[in-house]
């Protein structure tokens, strides 16, 4: 039987920004794919290139100073990077939607939330204002905003941060997208609201059948929501695997270090506190990128072989990849 094309295929993506100090490649040769109905997590610390990757998929990189320099982003086999602006406008918010980090800066303060949700449907689905407003009310109900008939007339500043994030989710789902990109959707929210938003996204994913690209630095979110995980560091993919493979048998020293830095219940020091195992050092300069492994200056397992030529992703199993010359070598205690 012919092989079914992936819903989304990102291959060799490279996105650069022009700075006074030189060109900074924020995303370097990033490749991954997404199946229909799947939740794929992209995880890494701040500056790893997660959000730039998401923005590149939808061609939202502002030029200048940024540009997508190489690679392809195929949606159902069609390379989005090769299409004109009109085609991309037909895709954004329609077939591929995005939940942004900061709803207050993403929502228009001069329009009611109902008008903003309805506008998406009027643009893409050619429905009447009455029909789109009725649908907006129903979407607000689905994202668990009380009294949606009244709140549909509210402006963003009338709502709490959690409510605004729910409005963003309603907007993203307005046209029943096939792919939902969630870029740190709970960053500015307290823990209780974070949990509610994650449960909401999971429930709506099941209802609408969308594939989800979950971008976060929170490994707890990844463990709860994702089937597969892409780990990024300094603009590169360093490990790919199922959520079970990543959490039970991480291969790259950076992934191992990330997992050790997560707060855990259990052992305590003599003073009753358990010290977090932070990752020493800082992410290397994107302009003066080091030869060899980008993580080697922070890795206690690094050796001379890590400083040579560029390290390529190695396939070590079905859909399992690692960018390391010492696959399976424990990084040891980071100090």
Q: Is the model's pLDDT at 274 over the cut of 70?
A: no
Residue 165 forms part of a structural domain: no
Quick one: pLDDT at residue 335? 35
By percentage, how much of the chain surpasses pLDDT 70?
Answer: 90
Enumerate the β-bridge partners of residue 229: 41, 241
CATH code of residue 332: 3.40.50.300
pLDDT at 305: 85
In 3-state terms, what secondary structure has residue 168? Answer: helix
- Specify if 130 maps to a domain: no
Contacts of 165 (CB under 8 A, 6+ apart): 99, 103, 185, 186, 189, 193, 197
Rounded to the nearest 10°, the torsion over CA 270, 274, 278, 280 is 0
pLDDT at 275: 65
For 306, the domain range is 1-85+213-263+276-335
Instruction: Give residue-wise pLDDT tens across range 31-75.
Output: 999 999 999 999 998 888 999 999 999 999 998 899 999 999 999
**Nearest in space to 171 (alpha carbons), one of 91, 87, 89, 98:** 98
State the average pLDDT over residues 162-186: 88
CA distance linking residue 128 with residue 122, whole number of Å: 7
Domain for residue 125, yes or no? Answer: no
In a domain, 161, yes or no: no
pLDDT on residue 271: 57
Residue 85 has pLDDT above 90, yes or no: yes
Beta pairing partners, 317: 320
- Per the structure, the count of domains in the chain is 1
Domain-embedded: residue 222: yes
Name the DSSP class of 179: E
In a domain, 2, yes or no: yes
What is the reported pLDDT for 268? 56
Give the pair of three-digit tokens for residue 2: 């012919």
pLDDT at 269 over 60: no
Over residues 85-93, the mean pLDDT reads 92
- Give the neighbor-by-neighbor strand order of the sheet with 39-43: 96-99, 179-183, 211-216, 39-43, 228-233, 236-242, 320-322, 314-317
107: pLDDT strictly greater than 70: yes
- Within a domain: residue 205? no
- Percent of the chain scored above 90 by pLDDT? 45
Mean pLDDT over residues 249-268, rounded?
Answer: 81
The answer to whether residue 108 is domain-embedded is no
């Amino acid at each position: 039987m012919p092989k079914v094309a992936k819903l989304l295929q990102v291959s060799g993506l490279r996105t650069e920004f022009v700075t006074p100090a030189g060109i900074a490649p924020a995303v370097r040769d990033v490749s991954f794919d997404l199946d229909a109905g799947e939740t794929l997590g992209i995880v890494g610390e701040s500056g790893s290139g997660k959000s730039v990757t998401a923005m590149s998929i939808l061609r939202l990189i502002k030029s200048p100073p940024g540009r997508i320099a190489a690679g392809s982003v195929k949606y159902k086999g069609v390379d989005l990077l090769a299409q004109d602006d009109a085609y991309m406008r037909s895709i954004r918010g329609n077939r591929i939607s995005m939940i942004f980090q900061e709803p207050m800066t993403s929502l228009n303060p001069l329009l009611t939330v109902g008008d903003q949700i309805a506008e998406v449907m009027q643009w893409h689905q050619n429905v009447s204002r009455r029909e789109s407003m009725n649908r907006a009310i129903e979407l607000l109900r689905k994202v668990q905003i009380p009294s949606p008939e009244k709140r549909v007339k509210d402006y963003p500043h009338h709502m709490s941060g959690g409510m605004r994030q729910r409005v963003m989710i309603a907007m993203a789902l307005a046209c029943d997208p096939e792919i939902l990109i969630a870029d740190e959707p709970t960053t500015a929210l307290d823990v209780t609201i974070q949990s509610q938003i994650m449960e909401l996204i999971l429930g709506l994913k099941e209802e609408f059948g969308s594939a989800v690209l979950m971008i976060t630095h929170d490994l707890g979110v990844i463990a709860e929501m994702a089937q597969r995980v892409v780990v990024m560091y300094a603009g590169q993919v360093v490990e790919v695997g199922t959520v079970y493979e990543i959490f039970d048998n991480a291969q790259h020293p950076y992934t191992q270090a990330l997992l050790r830095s997560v707060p855990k219940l259990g052992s305590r020091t003599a003073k009753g506190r358990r010290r977090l195992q932070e990752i020493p050092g800082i992410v290397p300069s994107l302009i003066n990128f080091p030869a060899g492994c980008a993580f080697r200056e922070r890795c206690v397992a690094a050796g001379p072989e890590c400083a040579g030529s560029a390290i390529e992703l190695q396939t070590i199993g079905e859909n399992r990849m690692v960018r390391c010359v010492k696959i399976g070598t424990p990084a040891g205690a980071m100090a």
